[in-house]
Amino acid sequence: MYVVGRGGYLTIFNEDFDIVAMLGYYNSDLKAHGMCGNSRGDLFLFPTHANPDHQVIQLKRIR
């Protein structure tokens, strides 16, 4: 499960609720109000007022 927040963190948990990855840092560009993903593993972030100049950000999975 991917968990994204307003603080700039993206945290990925496995089904045992263990953290498997932590991306971003405090107030990084990974701030989001909303998020979704596609079958390719890409993510889309929707920051609203956290980043008004970039309202739809793609995180393209490369690994």
Partner 1 sequence: MKHVTPPRDRGKETKITFETEGFAYEFIADFPRYPDDDWQFIDVSSGFCDQDDNVYILMRDGASSIVKCDPEGNYLGKIATSRYIQTPHFGCMTPEGNILVTNTFLHCAVELTPEGEFVREFGRRGVASDTGHDNLKFRRDRRYGPLMPTEIEEVYSNVKWADYMAWTTIVRRGEPFNKVTSCCINSKGQYIFGDGYGNCAVHTFDKDGTLLSSWGEPSHDEKGSYIPGPGRFYIVHAVAVDAKDRVWAADRDGDAVTVYEPNGEIAAYLQGNLGQPSDL
**Interface residues with partner 1 (CB under 8 A)?**
1-13, 15, 17, 20-24, 26, 28-40, 42-44, 46, 48-49, 52, 54-63
Tell the smallest beta-carbon distance from residue 41 to partner 1 (Å).
9
Residues contacting 12, CB < 8 A, separation 6+: 1, 2, 3, 19, 20, 21, 22, 23
Least Å distance, CB 16 to partner 1, is 9
Distance CA 38, CA 54 (A): 19
Please report how close the Cβ of residue 56 comes to partner 1 at its closest, in angstroms: 5
How many residues are present in the chain?
A: 63
